[in-house]
Protein backbone atom coordinates (compact mmCIF):
# COMPACT_ATOMS: atom_id res chain seq x y z
CA UNK A 1 0.00 0.00 0.00
CA UNK A 2 2.83 2.42 0.77
CA UNK A 3 4.37 1.85 -2.65
CA UNK A 4 1.01 2.35 -4.34
CA UNK A 5 0.28 5.64 -2.59
CA UNK A 6 3.75 7.09 -3.09
CA UNK A 7 3.87 5.93 -6.74
CA UNK A 8 0.61 7.69 -7.51
CA UNK A 9 1.71 10.78 -5.57
CA UNK A 10 4.89 11.00 -7.66
CA UNK A 11 2.74 11.46 -10.79
CA UNK A 12 0.42 14.12 -9.39
CA UNK A 13 0.46 17.38 -11.32
CA UNK A 14 0.06 19.99 -8.58
CA UNK A 15 -0.96 22.61 -11.18
CA UNK A 16 -3.89 20.51 -12.42
CA UNK A 17 -6.90 20.43 -10.07
CA UNK A 18 -8.36 17.66 -12.23
CA UNK A 19 -5.21 15.52 -12.18
CA UNK A 20 -6.28 11.85 -12.61
CA UNK A 21 -3.59 10.66 -10.20
CA UNK A 22 -4.87 13.04 -7.51
CA UNK A 23 -8.41 11.80 -8.16
CA UNK A 24 -7.29 8.16 -7.74
CA UNK A 25 -5.56 9.01 -4.44
CA UNK A 26 -8.64 10.78 -3.12
CA UNK A 27 -10.77 7.73 -3.89
CA UNK A 28 -8.23 5.47 -2.19
CA UNK A 29 -8.19 7.73 0.89
CA UNK A 30 -11.92 7.11 1.41
CA UNK A 31 -11.09 3.56 2.53
CA UNK A 32 -9.24 4.89 5.61
CA UNK A 33 -10.51 6.97 8.52
CA UNK A 34 -7.07 8.45 9.22
CA UNK A 35 -6.42 11.54 7.11
CA UNK A 36 -3.34 11.79 4.92
CA UNK A 37 -2.08 15.35 4.37
CA UNK A 38 0.97 14.30 2.35
CA UNK A 39 0.61 11.33 0.01
CA UNK A 40 4.37 11.36 -0.68
CA UNK A 41 4.89 10.43 2.98
CA UNK A 42 1.72 8.69 4.20
CA UNK A 43 1.39 7.97 7.95
CA UNK A 44 1.56 4.32 8.98
CA UNK A 45 -1.92 4.44 10.52
CA UNK A 46 -3.31 5.46 7.12
CA UNK A 47 -1.55 2.56 5.39
CA UNK A 48 -2.65 0.07 8.08
CA UNK A 49 -6.28 1.04 7.50
CA UNK A 50 -5.97 0.56 3.74
CA UNK A 51 -4.53 -2.97 3.94
CA UNK A 52 -7.75 -4.77 5.01
CA UNK A 53 -9.47 -3.15 2.00
CA UNK A 54 -6.73 -3.96 -0.52
CA UNK A 55 -9.11 -5.47 -3.08
CA UNK A 56 -11.28 -2.33 -3.15
CA UNK A 57 -8.24 -0.03 -3.16
CA UNK A 58 -6.74 -1.81 -6.16
CA UNK A 59 -9.96 -1.23 -8.12
CA UNK A 60 -9.39 2.53 -8.21
CA UNK A 61 -7.74 2.76 -11.63
CA UNK A 62 -6.23 5.98 -12.98
CA UNK A 63 -8.49 7.35 -15.71
CA UNK A 64 -6.34 9.08 -18.36
CA UNK A 65 -7.42 10.56 -21.66
CA UNK A 66 -5.34 7.94 -23.47
CA UNK A 67 -6.99 5.12 -21.51
CA UNK A 68 -7.21 3.71 -18.01
CA UNK A 69 -4.08 2.68 -16.12
CA UNK A 70 -4.62 -0.42 -13.98
CA UNK A 71 -3.20 -0.18 -10.48
CA UNK A 72 -2.57 -3.94 -10.58
CA UNK A 73 -0.75 -4.30 -13.91
CA UNK A 74 0.34 -0.78 -14.91
CA UNK A 75 1.04 1.32 -11.81
CA UNK A 76 2.33 -1.40 -9.47
CA UNK A 77 2.92 -4.24 -11.94
CA UNK A 78 2.14 -6.74 -9.18
CA UNK A 79 3.30 -9.81 -11.15
CA UNK A 80 6.77 -8.32 -11.50
CA UNK A 81 6.82 -6.94 -7.94
CA UNK A 82 5.93 -10.30 -6.38
CA UNK A 83 8.25 -12.38 -8.56
CA UNK A 84 11.52 -10.55 -7.97
CA UNK A 85 14.32 -13.17 -8.04
CA UNK A 86 16.24 -11.17 -5.43
CA UNK A 87 13.48 -11.81 -2.87
CA UNK A 88 14.30 -15.14 -1.24
CA UNK A 89 12.17 -17.40 0.96
CA UNK A 90 12.19 -16.49 4.64
CA UNK A 91 12.04 -18.76 7.68
CA UNK A 92 8.23 -19.09 7.56
CA UNK A 93 8.34 -20.31 3.95
CA UNK A 94 11.01 -22.87 4.86
CA UNK A 95 8.99 -24.10 7.84
CA UNK A 96 5.93 -24.55 5.60
CA UNK A 97 8.01 -26.53 3.11
CA UNK A 98 9.36 -28.73 5.93
CA UNK A 99 5.84 -29.38 7.26
CA UNK A 100 4.77 -30.45 3.75
CA UNK A 101 7.75 -32.80 3.49
CA UNK A 102 6.89 -34.26 6.89
CA UNK A 103 3.49 -35.24 5.47
CA UNK A 104 1.27 -33.17 7.78
CA UNK A 105 0.10 -30.49 5.30
CA UNK A 106 -2.01 -32.15 2.60
CA UNK A 107 -3.08 -28.83 1.01
CA UNK A 108 -1.77 -25.30 1.02
CA UNK A 109 -4.45 -22.87 -0.13
CA UNK A 110 -3.09 -19.37 -0.52
CA UNK A 111 -4.18 -15.99 -1.83
CA UNK A 112 -0.52 -14.92 -1.94
CA UNK A 113 0.82 -14.24 -5.41
CA UNK A 114 4.53 -14.71 -4.72
CA UNK A 115 6.49 -17.89 -5.45
CA UNK A 116 8.28 -18.15 -2.11
CA UNK A 117 6.62 -21.32 -0.75
CA UNK A 118 7.43 -23.33 -3.86
CA UNK A 119 10.94 -21.86 -3.92
CA UNK A 120 11.50 -22.95 -0.31
CA UNK A 121 10.22 -26.42 -1.20
CA UNK A 122 12.65 -26.69 -4.12
CA UNK A 123 15.51 -25.57 -1.86
CA UNK A 124 14.66 -28.36 0.57
CA UNK A 125 14.71 -31.15 -2.01
CA UNK A 126 17.40 -33.80 -1.84
CA UNK A 127 16.13 -36.19 -4.48
CA UNK A 128 13.85 -38.16 -2.15
CA UNK A 129 10.59 -36.24 -2.41
CA UNK A 130 8.12 -35.64 -5.26
CA UNK A 131 7.79 -32.08 -6.60
CA UNK A 132 5.11 -29.85 -5.12
CA UNK A 133 2.36 -29.32 -7.73
CA UNK A 134 1.28 -25.68 -8.05
CA UNK A 135 -2.34 -25.14 -9.09
CA UNK A 136 -3.66 -21.83 -10.44
CA UNK A 137 -6.01 -23.07 -13.18
CA UNK A 138 -8.15 -26.13 -13.98
CA UNK A 139 -5.47 -27.33 -16.44
CA UNK A 140 -3.03 -27.67 -13.52
CA UNK A 141 -5.28 -30.32 -11.96
CA UNK A 142 -5.03 -32.65 -14.96
CA UNK A 143 -2.96 -35.68 -14.05
CA UNK A 144 -2.07 -34.43 -10.57
CA UNK A 145 -1.12 -37.38 -8.38
CA UNK A 146 -2.62 -37.78 -4.89
CA UNK A 147 -0.54 -35.95 -2.33
CA UNK A 148 0.21 -32.43 -1.16
CA UNK A 149 -0.22 -29.50 -3.49
CA UNK A 150 -0.15 -25.72 -3.43
CA UNK A 151 -3.37 -24.12 -4.65
CA UNK A 152 -2.79 -20.43 -5.45
CA UNK A 153 -6.38 -19.54 -6.11
CA UNK A 154 -5.72 -15.83 -6.60
CA UNK A 155 -3.08 -16.58 -9.19
CA UNK A 156 0.70 -16.68 -9.35
CA UNK A 157 2.95 -13.66 -9.92
CA UNK A 158 5.81 -15.81 -11.20
CA UNK A 159 3.68 -17.28 -13.99
CA UNK A 160 1.90 -14.01 -14.76
CA UNK A 161 5.25 -12.22 -15.14
CA UNK A 162 6.53 -14.86 -17.57
CA UNK A 163 3.34 -15.81 -19.40
CA UNK A 164 0.76 -13.07 -20.18
CA UNK A 165 -1.98 -15.70 -20.46
CA UNK A 166 -1.60 -16.40 -16.73
CA UNK A 167 -2.86 -12.89 -15.95
CA UNK A 168 -6.40 -14.11 -16.55
CA UNK A 169 -6.03 -16.14 -13.33
CA UNK A 170 -4.58 -13.20 -11.36
CA UNK A 171 -7.15 -12.06 -8.77
CA UNK A 172 -6.49 -8.79 -6.92
CA UNK A 173 -9.49 -6.46 -7.13
CA UNK A 174 -12.95 -6.77 -5.61
CA UNK A 175 -14.42 -7.17 -9.09
CA UNK A 176 -12.11 -10.12 -9.79
CA UNK A 177 -12.91 -11.67 -6.41
CA UNK A 178 -16.62 -11.51 -7.27
CA UNK A 179 -15.90 -13.09 -10.67
CA UNK A 180 -13.91 -15.83 -8.92
CA UNK A 181 -17.04 -16.67 -6.91
CA UNK A 182 -19.36 -16.91 -9.91
CA UNK A 183 -17.41 -17.56 -13.11
CA UNK A 184 -17.18 -21.01 -14.71
CA UNK A 185 -13.51 -20.20 -15.33
CA UNK A 186 -12.77 -20.76 -11.63
CA UNK A 187 -15.21 -23.61 -10.94
CA UNK A 188 -12.55 -26.34 -10.66
CA UNK A 189 -10.44 -24.18 -8.34
CA UNK A 190 -13.48 -23.46 -6.16
CA UNK A 191 -14.11 -27.21 -5.96
CA UNK A 192 -10.50 -27.72 -4.88
CA UNK A 193 -10.90 -25.17 -2.06
CA UNK A 194 -14.23 -26.60 -0.91
CA UNK A 195 -12.88 -30.14 -0.89
CA UNK A 196 -9.97 -29.09 1.30
CA UNK A 197 -12.30 -27.26 3.72
CA UNK A 198 -14.66 -30.24 3.82
CA UNK A 199 -12.08 -32.91 4.57
CA UNK A 200 -9.23 -31.18 6.42
CA UNK A 201 -8.99 -28.86 9.42
CA UNK A 202 -7.94 -25.38 8.30
CA UNK A 203 -5.31 -22.97 9.59
CA UNK A 204 -5.90 -19.46 8.25
CA UNK A 205 -2.96 -17.07 8.33
CA UNK A 206 -2.92 -13.42 7.29
CA UNK A 207 -5.77 -11.46 5.73
CA UNK A 208 -7.36 -14.35 3.81
CA UNK A 209 -10.35 -14.87 6.14
CA UNK A 210 -11.67 -11.41 5.30
CA UNK A 211 -12.08 -12.22 1.58
CA UNK A 212 -15.73 -12.86 0.76
CA UNK A 213 -14.85 -15.60 -1.72
CA UNK A 214 -13.09 -17.62 1.01
CA UNK A 215 -16.01 -17.19 3.39
CA UNK A 216 -18.38 -18.38 0.66
CA UNK A 217 -16.31 -21.53 0.06
CA UNK A 218 -16.61 -22.41 3.75
CA UNK A 219 -20.38 -21.92 3.50
CA UNK A 220 -20.71 -24.06 0.39
CA UNK A 221 -18.40 -26.76 1.76
CA UNK A 222 -20.74 -27.54 4.67
CA UNK A 223 -24.00 -27.56 2.68
CA UNK A 224 -25.93 -30.74 3.48
CA UNK A 225 -23.95 -31.77 6.55
CA UNK A 226 -24.52 -31.32 10.25
CA UNK A 227 -22.49 -28.58 11.95
CA UNK A 228 -19.41 -29.71 13.85
CA UNK A 229 -20.28 -30.24 17.51
CA UNK A 230 -16.76 -30.39 18.97
CA UNK A 231 -14.16 -27.65 18.87
CA UNK A 232 -11.13 -29.03 20.69
CA UNK A 233 -9.22 -29.00 18.40
CA UNK A 234 -10.94 -26.38 16.28
CA UNK A 235 -12.06 -27.20 12.77
CA UNK A 236 -10.65 -23.83 11.70
CA UNK A 237 -7.88 -21.96 13.49
CA UNK A 238 -6.79 -18.37 12.94
CA UNK A 239 -3.31 -16.95 13.46
CA UNK A 240 -4.42 -14.01 15.57
CA UNK A 241 -5.12 -13.29 19.23
CA UNK A 242 -8.85 -12.58 18.87
CA UNK A 243 -11.59 -13.42 16.38
CA UNK A 244 -12.90 -10.54 14.30
CA UNK A 245 -16.04 -10.26 12.23
CA UNK A 246 -14.68 -12.36 9.34
CA UNK A 247 -13.48 -15.13 11.66
CA UNK A 248 -16.78 -15.17 13.52
CA UNK A 249 -18.63 -15.64 10.22
CA UNK A 250 -16.51 -18.68 9.35
CA UNK A 251 -16.93 -20.17 12.85
CA UNK A 252 -20.70 -19.63 12.64
CA UNK A 253 -20.68 -21.47 9.29
CA UNK A 254 -18.79 -24.46 10.73
CA UNK A 255 -20.50 -24.81 14.11
CA UNK A 256 -24.00 -23.55 13.29
CA UNK A 257 -26.37 -23.77 16.24
CA UNK A 258 -23.52 -24.69 18.59
CA UNK A 259 -21.94 -21.28 18.08
CA UNK A 260 -24.09 -19.53 20.66
CA UNK A 261 -24.06 -18.47 24.30
CA UNK A 262 -21.14 -19.69 26.38
CA UNK A 263 -20.09 -22.05 23.58
CA UNK A 264 -19.29 -19.10 21.29
CA UNK A 265 -16.57 -17.85 23.60
CA UNK A 266 -15.10 -21.33 23.99
CA UNK A 267 -15.12 -21.88 20.22
CA UNK A 268 -13.39 -18.55 19.59
CA UNK A 269 -10.72 -19.24 22.21
CA UNK A 270 -10.06 -22.68 20.72
CA UNK A 271 -9.86 -21.20 17.21
CA UNK A 272 -7.45 -18.32 17.86
CA UNK A 273 -3.67 -18.67 18.13
CA UNK A 274 -1.59 -15.78 19.40
CA UNK A 275 1.24 -16.58 16.99
CA UNK A 276 1.91 -15.56 13.42
CA UNK A 277 4.27 -16.41 10.57
CA UNK A 278 7.74 -17.44 11.82
CA UNK A 279 6.78 -18.20 15.47
CA UNK A 280 3.67 -20.11 14.40
CA UNK A 281 5.18 -22.33 11.71
CA UNK A 282 8.48 -22.66 13.59
CA UNK A 283 6.73 -23.85 16.74
CA UNK A 284 4.61 -26.30 14.72
CA UNK A 285 7.69 -27.77 13.04
CA UNK A 286 9.67 -27.97 16.29
CA UNK A 287 6.84 -29.72 18.14
CA UNK A 288 6.12 -32.04 15.21
CA UNK A 289 9.70 -33.32 14.99
CA UNK A 290 9.83 -34.40 18.60
CA UNK A 291 6.32 -35.84 18.61
CA UNK A 292 7.30 -37.99 15.62
CA UNK A 293 10.49 -39.13 17.35
CA UNK A 294 8.50 -40.02 20.47
CA UNK A 295 5.97 -41.85 18.27
CA UNK A 296 8.83 -43.85 16.66
CA UNK A 297 10.05 -44.70 20.14
CA UNK A 298 6.60 -45.84 21.30
CA UNK A 299 5.87 -47.77 18.09
CA UNK A 300 9.07 -49.78 18.55
CA UNK A 301 8.51 -50.74 22.18
CA UNK A 302 9.30 -54.39 21.43
CA UNK A 303 12.86 -53.26 20.65
CA UNK A 304 13.34 -52.03 24.24
CA UNK A 305 13.29 -53.19 27.79
CA UNK A 306 11.01 -51.00 29.95
CA UNK A 307 14.11 -49.29 31.37
CA UNK A 308 15.47 -48.58 27.87
CA UNK A 309 12.13 -47.16 26.75
CA UNK A 310 12.06 -44.82 29.74
CA UNK A 311 15.68 -43.83 29.05
CA UNK A 312 15.03 -42.96 25.38
CA UNK A 313 11.85 -41.01 26.11
CA UNK A 314 13.61 -39.03 28.84
CA UNK A 315 16.51 -38.31 26.48
CA UNK A 316 14.17 -37.05 23.74
CA UNK A 317 12.26 -34.79 26.14
CA UNK A 318 15.48 -33.45 27.67
CA UNK A 319 16.91 -32.82 24.21
CA UNK A 320 13.77 -30.94 23.21
CA UNK A 321 13.95 -28.81 26.35
CA UNK A 322 17.65 -28.04 25.82
CA UNK A 323 17.07 -26.96 22.24
CA UNK A 324 14.06 -24.86 23.25
CA UNK A 325 16.04 -23.16 26.01
CA UNK A 326 18.91 -22.45 23.62
CA UNK A 327 16.71 -20.70 21.05
CA UNK A 328 14.62 -18.91 23.68
CA UNK A 329 17.78 -17.09 24.72
CA UNK A 330 18.24 -15.65 21.23
CA UNK A 331 16.66 -12.32 20.21
CA UNK A 332 13.22 -12.86 18.60
CA UNK A 333 14.46 -11.34 15.34
CA UNK A 334 17.13 -14.06 15.14
CA UNK A 335 15.49 -17.01 16.89
CA UNK A 336 13.32 -18.47 14.15
CA UNK A 337 15.75 -17.83 11.31
CA UNK A 338 18.46 -19.71 13.19
CA UNK A 339 16.08 -22.54 14.07
CA UNK A 340 15.00 -22.88 10.43
CA UNK A 341 18.64 -23.21 9.41
CA UNK A 342 20.11 -25.37 12.16
CA UNK A 343 17.58 -27.93 13.42
CA UNK A 344 16.45 -29.15 9.97
CA UNK A 345 20.11 -29.34 8.91
CA UNK A 346 21.02 -31.57 11.87
CA UNK A 347 18.02 -33.81 11.19
CA UNK A 348 18.83 -34.02 7.48
CA UNK A 349 22.51 -34.83 8.15
CA UNK A 350 21.70 -37.62 10.59
CA UNK A 351 18.70 -39.02 8.72
CA UNK A 352 20.34 -38.79 5.30
CA UNK A 353 23.20 -40.96 6.51
CA UNK A 354 20.94 -43.29 8.47
CA UNK A 355 18.50 -43.99 5.64
CA UNK A 356 20.43 -43.26 2.45
CA UNK A 357 24.07 -43.79 3.51
CA UNK A 358 25.23 -40.45 2.16
CA UNK A 359 25.36 -36.83 3.25
CA UNK A 360 22.76 -34.38 2.00
CA UNK A 361 23.59 -32.77 -1.32
CA UNK A 362 23.46 -29.16 -0.10
CA UNK A 363 22.95 -27.30 3.15
CA UNK A 364 19.28 -26.38 2.58
CA UNK A 365 18.29 -29.95 1.59
CA UNK A 366 16.08 -31.84 4.01
CA UNK A 367 15.36 -35.47 4.82
CA UNK A 368 12.13 -35.75 6.85
CA UNK A 369 11.79 -37.77 10.03
CA UNK A 370 8.93 -39.53 8.21
CA UNK A 371 6.32 -38.70 5.60
CA UNK A 372 3.53 -40.17 7.72
CA UNK A 373 1.00 -38.05 9.58
CA UNK A 374 0.88 -38.20 13.34
CA UNK A 375 -1.70 -40.68 14.57
CA UNK A 376 -0.39 -43.37 12.23
CA UNK A 377 2.43 -45.82 13.09
CA UNK A 378 5.82 -44.16 12.80
CA UNK A 379 9.01 -45.97 11.88
CA UNK A 380 10.08 -49.56 12.49
CA UNK A 381 11.76 -51.41 15.40
CA UNK A 382 15.20 -50.70 13.94
CA UNK A 383 14.37 -46.97 13.93
CA UNK A 384 13.49 -47.15 17.62
CA UNK A 385 16.74 -49.01 18.25
CA UNK A 386 18.58 -46.19 16.45
CA UNK A 387 17.10 -43.72 18.93
CA UNK A 388 18.47 -45.85 21.77
CA UNK A 389 21.88 -45.77 20.10
CA UNK A 390 21.76 -41.97 19.79
CA UNK A 391 20.60 -41.64 23.39
CA UNK A 392 23.57 -43.75 24.55
CA UNK A 393 26.02 -41.65 22.50
CA UNK A 394 24.58 -38.48 24.03
CA UNK A 395 24.58 -39.99 27.52
CA UNK A 396 28.26 -40.87 27.19
CA UNK A 397 29.02 -37.20 26.58
CA UNK A 398 26.98 -36.28 29.67
CA UNK A 399 28.84 -38.83 31.81
CA UNK A 400 32.24 -37.70 30.51
CA UNK A 401 33.07 -41.05 28.88
CA UNK A 402 33.83 -39.11 25.69
CA UNK A 403 33.27 -35.69 24.22
CA UNK A 404 30.82 -35.46 21.35
CA UNK A 405 30.35 -32.70 18.80
CA UNK A 406 27.45 -32.78 16.33
CA UNK A 407 27.92 -31.73 12.70
CA UNK A 408 27.95 -27.97 12.23
CA UNK A 409 25.51 -26.49 9.68
CA UNK A 410 27.39 -24.81 6.89
CA UNK A 411 30.47 -27.01 7.25
CA UNK A 412 31.57 -30.07 5.28
CA UNK A 413 31.56 -32.15 8.50
CA UNK A 414 28.54 -34.36 8.02
CA UNK A 415 29.23 -36.74 10.91
CA UNK A 416 29.19 -36.41 14.67
CA UNK A 417 32.69 -36.34 16.13
CA UNK A 418 33.45 -38.41 19.22
CA UNK A 419 36.71 -38.07 21.13
CA UNK A 420 38.28 -40.18 23.90
CA UNK A 421 41.67 -38.91 25.01
CA UNK A 422 43.82 -38.47 21.92
CA UNK A 423 41.61 -40.65 19.73
CA UNK A 424 38.80 -39.27 17.60
CA UNK A 425 36.23 -40.86 15.29
CA UNK A 426 33.53 -39.77 12.93
CA UNK A 427 30.42 -41.59 14.12
CA UNK A 428 27.65 -42.41 11.67
CA UNK A 429 24.55 -44.33 12.74
CA UNK A 430 23.24 -46.26 9.73
CA UNK A 431 20.34 -48.61 9.32
CA UNK A 432 21.52 -51.61 7.31
CA UNK A 433 24.93 -53.20 7.79
CA UNK A 434 24.61 -55.15 4.52
CA UNK A 435 24.34 -51.99 2.43
CA UNK A 436 26.22 -49.45 4.50
CA UNK A 437 29.90 -50.23 3.96
CA UNK A 438 30.19 -49.71 0.19
CA UNK A 439 27.62 -46.91 0.05
CA UNK A 440 29.33 -45.00 2.83
CA UNK A 441 32.69 -45.29 1.14
CA UNK A 442 31.17 -44.16 -2.15
CA UNK A 443 29.87 -40.98 -0.49
CA UNK A 444 32.88 -40.08 1.70
CA UNK A 445 36.36 -38.84 0.98
CA UNK A 446 38.74 -41.76 1.28
CA UNK A 447 40.86 -39.72 3.68
CA UNK A 448 37.96 -39.85 6.18
CA UNK A 449 37.30 -43.58 5.98
CA UNK A 450 40.06 -44.66 8.37
CA UNK A 451 38.56 -42.45 11.11
CA UNK A 452 34.91 -43.35 10.49
CA UNK A 453 32.89 -45.76 12.60
CA UNK A 454 29.57 -47.06 11.26
CA UNK A 455 27.31 -47.96 14.18
CA UNK A 456 24.49 -50.36 13.38
CA UNK A 457 21.50 -50.22 15.77
CA UNK A 458 20.39 -53.76 14.85
CA UNK A 459 21.93 -56.89 13.44
CA UNK A 460 24.79 -59.19 14.42
CA UNK A 461 28.50 -59.02 13.76
CA UNK A 462 29.54 -61.32 10.88
CA UNK A 463 31.85 -64.18 11.78
CA UNK A 464 34.49 -62.93 9.36
CA UNK A 465 35.56 -59.31 9.46
CA UNK A 466 34.52 -57.47 6.32
CA UNK A 467 36.83 -55.21 4.40
CA UNK A 468 35.64 -51.96 2.91
CA UNK A 469 36.73 -50.74 -0.49
CA UNK A 470 39.19 -48.46 1.28
CA UNK A 471 41.29 -51.46 2.31
CA UNK A 472 42.21 -52.07 -1.33
CA UNK A 473 43.20 -48.50 -2.16
CA UNK A 474 46.90 -47.67 -2.64
CA UNK A 475 48.75 -46.79 0.59
CA UNK A 476 45.85 -48.15 2.68
CA UNK A 477 46.48 -51.05 5.03
CA UNK A 478 44.17 -54.01 5.45
CA UNK A 479 42.94 -52.58 8.76
CA UNK A 480 41.63 -49.40 7.10
CA UNK A 481 38.09 -48.33 7.89
CA UNK A 482 35.33 -47.49 7.92
CA UNK A 483 35.08 -49.58 11.09
CA UNK A 484 31.87 -51.18 12.28
CA UNK A 485 30.18 -51.50 15.65
CA UNK A 486 27.06 -53.60 16.21
CA UNK A 487 25.20 -51.74 18.94
CA UNK A 488 22.59 -54.49 19.25
CA UNK A 489 25.17 -56.71 20.92
CA UNK A 490 25.36 -54.15 23.74
CA UNK A 491 21.68 -53.18 23.86
CA UNK A 492 20.55 -56.82 24.02
CA UNK A 493 22.20 -57.23 27.41
CA UNK A 494 20.42 -56.09 30.61
CA UNK A 495 22.73 -53.10 31.01
CA UNK A 496 21.88 -49.82 32.67
CA UNK A 497 22.42 -46.71 30.50
CA UNK A 498 25.77 -46.10 32.22
CA UNK A 499 26.84 -49.70 31.57
CA UNK A 500 25.82 -49.39 27.90
CA UNK A 501 28.06 -46.34 27.65
CA UNK A 502 30.98 -48.19 29.24
CA UNK A 503 30.58 -51.17 26.90
CA UNK A 504 30.39 -48.89 23.86
CA UNK A 505 33.53 -47.09 25.05
CA UNK A 506 35.41 -50.38 25.32
CA UNK A 507 34.21 -51.32 21.84
CA UNK A 508 35.54 -48.07 20.39
CA UNK A 509 38.86 -48.23 22.20
CA UNK A 510 39.31 -51.75 20.89
CA UNK A 511 39.25 -50.57 17.27
CA UNK A 512 42.61 -50.42 15.47
CA UNK A 513 44.33 -47.06 15.32
CA UNK A 514 44.05 -45.29 11.99
CA UNK A 515 47.18 -45.95 9.89
265 shares a domain with 288: no
300 shares a domain with 289: yes
> Does residue 138 form part of some domain?
yes
446 shares a domain with 319: yes
* Domain termination residue (choose one: 276, 299, 319): 276
> Does residue 373 form part of some domain?
yes
Note whether 78 and 157 are within 8 A (CB).
yes
CA pair distance 391, 307, nearest whole angstrom: 13
Q: How many domains does the chain have?
A: 3
CA pair distance 280, 74, nearest whole angstrom: 35
Residues 6+ apart with CB under 8 A from 22: 12, 13, 16
Note whether 104 and 371 are within 8 A (CB).
no
| Secondary structure of 47-66 as H, E, C letters | HHHHHHHHHHHCCCCEEECC
Tens of pLDDT along the chain (515 residues)? 999 999 999 999 999 999 999 999 999 999 999 999 999 999 999 999 998 888 899 998 999 989 999 999 999 999 999 999 999 999 999 999 999 999 999 889 998 999 999 999 999 987 656 678 999 998 998 877 788 899 999 999 999 999 999 999 999 999 998 899 888 888 999 998 899 888 889 998 876 677 778 888 899 988 888 999 888 889 999 998 899 888 999 999 999 999 998 899 999 999 999 888 899 999 999 999 999 999 999 888 888 899 999 999 999 999 999 999 999 999 988 999 999 999 998 898 888 888 887 777 677 889 888 888 877 777 788 899 999 999 999 999 999 999 987 655 444 444 578 899 888 888 889 887 777 666 666 555 444 555 788 899 988 887 665 555 444 333 334 345 578 899 999 999 999 999 999 999 999 998 876 55
Residues 6+ apart with CB under 8 A from 308: 388, 491
- What spatial distance separates the first Cα and last Cα of the chain, rounded to whole Å? 67
> Does residue 148 form part of some domain?
yes
352 shares a domain with 336: yes
> Does residue 248 form part of some domain?
yes
139 shares a domain with 126: yes
269 shares a domain with 293: no
> Does residue 514 form part of some domain?
no
107 shares a domain with 57: no
Question: What pTM was estimated for this model as a whole?
Answer: 0.88
230 shares a domain with 159: yes
455 shares a domain with 320: yes
Query: How large is the angle between the packed helices 91-101 and 332-356, nearest 10 degrees?
Result: 30
> Does residue 515 form part of some domain?
no
102 shares a domain with 41: no
226 shares a domain with 136: yes
CA pair distance 435, 366, nearest whole angstrom: 22
Domain with 254 in it: 82-276
* Domain termination residue (choose one: 276, 308, 327): 276
295 shares a domain with 377: yes
* Domain termination residue (choose one: 42, 75, 108): 75
DSSP 8-state code for residue 272: B
> Does residue 266 form part of some domain?
yes
278 burial type by CB count under 10 A (0-12 exposed, 13-18 middle, 19+ buried): buried
> Does residue 435 form part of some domain?
yes
DSSP 8-state code for residue 226: P
Amino acid sequence: MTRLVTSLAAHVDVTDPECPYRAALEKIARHATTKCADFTNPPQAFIDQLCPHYSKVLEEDVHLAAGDRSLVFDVLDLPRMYSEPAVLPDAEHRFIALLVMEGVVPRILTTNWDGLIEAAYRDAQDGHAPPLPVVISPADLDGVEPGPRLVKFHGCAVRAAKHPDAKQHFVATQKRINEWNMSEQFLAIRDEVRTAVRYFPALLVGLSAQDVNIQMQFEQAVVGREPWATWAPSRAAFAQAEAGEAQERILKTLYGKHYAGANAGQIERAATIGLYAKPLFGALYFELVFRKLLAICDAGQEAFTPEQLQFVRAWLLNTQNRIRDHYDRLPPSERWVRLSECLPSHIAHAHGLYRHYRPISRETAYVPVSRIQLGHPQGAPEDARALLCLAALSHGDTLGAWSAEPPRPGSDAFHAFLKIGLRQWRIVVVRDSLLAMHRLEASMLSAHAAETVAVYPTGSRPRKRRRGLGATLPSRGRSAGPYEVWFDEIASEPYTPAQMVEELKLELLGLPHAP
